[in-house]
Structure 1
Amino acid sequence: MRQHSNCVGEMTIIVLSLLLALCYASPRQERRFPDDFLFGAATASYQIEGGWNADGKGENIWDRMTHTNPDVIKDKSNGDKAANSYNNYARDVEMMRELGLNAYRFSISWARILPNGLANQINEPGVEFYNNYINEMLKYNITPMVTLYHWDLPQKIQDLGGFLSPLFPEWFEDYARIVFQRFGDRVKHWITFNEPCEICFEGYGSSAKAPILNATDVGTYMCAKQLVIAHARAYHAYDKDYRSDQGGVCGITISVNWYGPLTDSEEDKFAAEILRQAKWGIYAEPIFSEQGGFPKEFVERVAKNSEEQGYPRSRMPEFSPEEIELVRGSADFFGVNHYTAVLISATEHKHWFPVSSLYADADVGMYTLPEWASSASDWLTFAPNSLLNSLSHLRNKYKDAVFYITENGWSQAGAGLEDDDRISYYRSALNNVLDSLEAGIKLKGYMAWSLLDNFEWMQGYTERFGLYEVDFESSEKTRTPRKSAFIYKEIIRSRTIDPEYEPPTRTMWIDEGH
Structure 2
Amino acid sequence: ITMLQRWILRLYHAVALLLLVSASEDFDWTKNERTSFYYGTFPTGFSWGAGSSAYQTEGAWDIDGKGMSIWDVFARKKGKIISNETGDSSCEGYYKFKDDVGLMKDMKFNHYRFSISWPRILPSGLKSEHINEKGLKYYDDLINMLLENKITPIVTLYHWDLPQVLQEKYGGWQNVTMVNYFNDFANLCFERFGNRVKYWITFNNPWSIAVEGYETGEHAPGLKLKGTGAYKAAHHIIKAHAKVWHTYDTQWRSKQKGLVGISLTADWGEPVDISNQRDIEAAERYIHFYLGWFATPLFNGDYPQVMKEYIGRKSGQQGLGASRLPVFSPQEKSYIKGTCDFLGLGHFTTRYITQKNYPSGLGDSYFADRDLAELVDPHWPDPGSEWLYSVPWGFRRMLNFVKTQYGNPMIYVTENGVSEKMMCTDLCDDWRMQYFKDYINEMLKAIKDGVNVKGYTAWSLLDNFEWDEGYSERFGLFYVDFRSKSKPRYPKASVQYYKRIISSNGFPNQREVESWKRKAIETCSSSNQLLAADPLIGHMEMVTEIVVPTVCTLCILLSAVFLMFLLRGRI
For 2:174, the equivalent position in structure 1 comes to 164
1:358 is matched with 366
Report the Cα offset of residue 70 of structure 1: 3.0
| Structure 2 alignment gaps of length 5 or more | 1-36, 508-512, 528-571
**1:472 counterpart residue number:** 482
Distance 1:358 1:347 in 2: 14
Match of 2:294 in 1: 283
Matched, 1:384 2:402: no
CA distance in 2, matches of 1:460, 1:30: 38
Deviation at 1:352, TM superposition (A): 12
In 1, Cα distance between equivalents of 2:102 and 2:334: 44
- Equivalence map 1:355-504=2 (5 Å): 355-414=363-422, 415-497=425-507, 498-501=513-516, 502-503=518-519, 504=522
* Structure in which a larger fraction of residues adopt helix: 2
**What secondary structure, in the 3-state scheme, does the structure 2 residue paired with 1:122 have?**
coil
Query: Do residues 266 (structure 1) and 284 (structure 2) align?
Result: no
Distance (whole Å) between structure 1 residues aligned to residue 220 and residue 399 of structure 2: 29
Q: Determine if contact 2:264/2:346 at 8 Å carries over to the other structure.
A: yes
- 1:449 to partner: Cα distance: 0.2
1:338 corresponding residue in structure 2 = 347
1:455-514 residue CA offsets vs partner (Å, 9 max, x unmatched): 000000000000000011112100010000000001111113314423252368xxxxxx
Q: Structure 1: state its 5+ residue gaps.
A: 1-27, 509-514
Task: Report if the CA contact (8 A) 1:353-1:360 is conserved.
Answer: no
CA contact (8 A) 1:164 1:226 kept: yes
1:254 matched residue in structure 2? 264
Q: Cα RMSD between the aligned structures?
A: 1.7
Report the CA distance between 1:351 and its aligned residue: 12
Task: Give the corresponding residue for 2:164.
Answer: 155
Tell me which moved more, 129-138 or 270-279.
Answer: 270-279
- Amino acid in the other structure paired with 1:163: W
Deviation digits for residues 418-473 of structure 1 (CA, Å, limit 9, x no counterpart): 11111100000110111011111110000000000000000000000000000111
Give the structure 2 partner of residue 197 of structure 1: 207
1:313 deviation in Å?
A: 1.1
Partner of 1:7: none
Map Cα deviations across residues 130-151 of structure 1 (whole Å, 9 max, x no partner). 0011111111100000000001
CA distance in 1, matches of 2:396, 2:448: 11
| Residue 327 to residue 74, structure 1, CA distance change in 2 (3 Å) | same
Contact 1:48 1:455 in 2 (8 A): yes
CA distance in 2, matches of 1:352, 1:434: 43
Q: Residues of 2 paired with 1:355 and 1:401: CA distance?
A: 38
In 2, the alpha carbon distance for the partners of 1:463 and 1:241 equals 41
Q: Given that residues 205 and 215 in structure 1 are in contact (C-alpha distance below 8 angstroms), is that contact kept between their aligned partners in structure 2?
A: yes
Distance in 2 between residues matched to 1:280 and 1:320, nearest whole Å: 22
Q: Is the Cα contact below 8 Å between 2:314 and 2:360 reproduced in 1?
A: no
The letter for the 2-side match of 1:225 is H
Alignment match of 1:315 (pick from 324, 329, 334): 324
Q: SS of the residue aligned with 2:140?
A: helix
**Mean Cα deviation higher: 479-488 or 158-167:** 158-167
Relative distance call for 1:155 and 1:372 in structure 2 (3 A) is same
Of structures 1 and 2, the larger Rg is shown by: 2
Counterpart pick for 2:88 among 51, 71, 80? 80
> Closer, same or farther in 2 for the Cα pair 1:428/1:151, shift >3 Å?
same
> Match of 1:512?
none
- Where do residues 175-186 of structure 1 align in structure 2 (5 Å cutoff)? 175-186=185-196
Equivalent residue, structure 2, for 1:25: none
How much does 1:256 deviate? 2.0
Cα shift readout 1:376-410 (whole Å, capped 9, x = no counterpart)? 21111011311101000110101141101000000
Moved more, 272-281 or 78-87: 272-281
